[in-house]
Amino acid sequence: MLKTADATVQAAARALRAARCLVVTTGAGMSRDSGIATFRDALTGLWARYDPEELATEAAFRHNPARVFGWYAWRRRLVRAAVPHAGYHALVALERIVPELVVVTQNVDGLHRRAGSTRVVELHGSLERFSCLAARHPFPPDQVATPEADGECEPPRCLRCDAPVRPDVVWFGETLPQEASAAAWDWSARCDAMLVVGTSGLVQPAAQLPLVARGAGAVVIEVNPEPSAISPAAHITCRGPAGVVLPALLVALTEGERP
Ligand code: APR
């Protein structure tokens, strides 16, 4: 198990100690230690027969709204039952140490906000937000039922145009939300350190952010138990799970107090 004495954790702590502006980019691996399967882990139960990359599309929703809406209700139930692990709380603590810190996440589970992170850019949207298929009119989350029983469930209809309501997440083939995207690129271009946690780096354009940061002179630190497409762009690689490495990083950082 990784310890604070680990050389890569110490090197990462030294880089963060000098950082004025830190961007933490996270992927599905960040939620893994809270019991949420990564996006490319096999789906379980009723959904095991489906490919998430097929379900997470507008075409799938148009073809069978109740199936896709039921899948997202299942994911909402899983996420609501999850508890942010110590790695999330380490990032919240880092906000009090690094002068500027923003989290840019590909995750739609809302765990960073639940853990208390105050600056979170949700590049791929959120399971807890909804809008209509026709015009993306926002739909009140408190009017969306999340049935306990697993299975297909009919989406509600838009209060303004009667179109079916969808989760406000980015589906494959869709563009990123303009405001979130601009913020993510701006922060990545001006940070002096980037922590890349739990992403395979397989999905564009989010996978560009570490390259943007590195190109702007930032130190790029990867936290992932496995090599990823991001690894070649990382100056420092901490091979371990987010729930272990991030708390170890915080200890290493606070052990050698900031100058
Ligand atoms: N701690 C840190 N990283 C982990 C852990 C862990 N405990 N467990 C697994 N990982 C790593 C895996 O090694 C992998 O590199 O997390 C990464 C998960 O990769 P993906 O499942 O591809 O998830 P992600 O990179 O977030 O996918 C990007 O693709 O499908 C879209 O919208 C979806 O946000 C998702 C995006």
Same domain, 65 and 150: yes
* Residue 51 beta carbon below 6 angstroms from any ligand 1 atom: no
Same domain, 157 and 62: yes
Residue 195 pLDDT greater than 70, yes or no? yes
Q: Which residue among 89, 124, 137, 235 is the active-site one?
A: 124
SS3 26: strand
- Confidence at 53, pLDDT banded by 50, 70, 90: confident
Same domain, 49 and 155: yes
Same domain, 77 and 88: no
Q: Which of 38, 43, 109, 203 to mutate to test the pocket of ligand 1 (most atoms within 8 A of CB)?
A: 38
CB 249 within 8 A of CB 9: yes
Bridge partners of 195, per DSSP, are: 24, 221
Residues written for the chain: 259
Q: Give the sign of the dihedral formed by CA 31, CA 201, CA 104, CA 250.
A: positive
CA-CA distance, 18 to 258, in Å (whole number)? 8
The confidence score (pLDDT) of residue 43 equals 65
Q: Which of 199, 208, 231, 246 to mutate to test the pocket of ligand 1 (most atoms within 8 A of CB)?
A: 199
* Residue 132 beta carbon below 6 angstroms from any ligand 1 atom: no
Best CA proximity match to 180, nearest among 192, 172, 197, 168: 168
Stretch 155-160: mean pLDDT: 97
The confidence score (pLDDT) of residue 148 equals 82
137 is catalytic: no
Per the prediction, the chain carries an average pLDDT of 93
Containing domain of residue 154, as a range? 37-81+126-169
How far does the centroid of ligand 1 lie from the alpha carbon of residue 225, in Å?
Answer: 11
The confidence score (pLDDT) of residue 199 equals 95
CB 219 within 8 A of CB 46: no
Evaluate the omega torsion of the peptide bond into residue 155 and state whether it is cis, within 30 degrees of 0.
Answer: no
Same domain, 42 and 117: no
Stretch 17-37: mean pLDDT: 95
Residue 49 pLDDT greater than 80, yes or no? no
CA-CA distance, 94 to 204, in Å (whole number)? 27
CA-CA distance, 221 to 192, in Å (whole number)? 11
Same domain, 4 and 16: yes
The confidence score (pLDDT) of residue 150 equals 85
Stretch 147-152: mean pLDDT: 86
Same domain, 75 and 45: yes
Residue 45 pLDDT greater than 70, yes or no? no
The total domain count for the chain is 2
Same domain, 164 and 135: yes
The confidence score (pLDDT) of residue 147 equals 84
Stretch 173-180: mean pLDDT: 95
Output the domain CATH number for residue 74. Answer: 3.30.1600.10
SS3 67: helix
How far does the centroid of ligand 1 lie from the alpha carbon of residue 202, in Å?
Answer: 9
Same domain, 65 and 161: yes
Same domain, 148 and 254: no
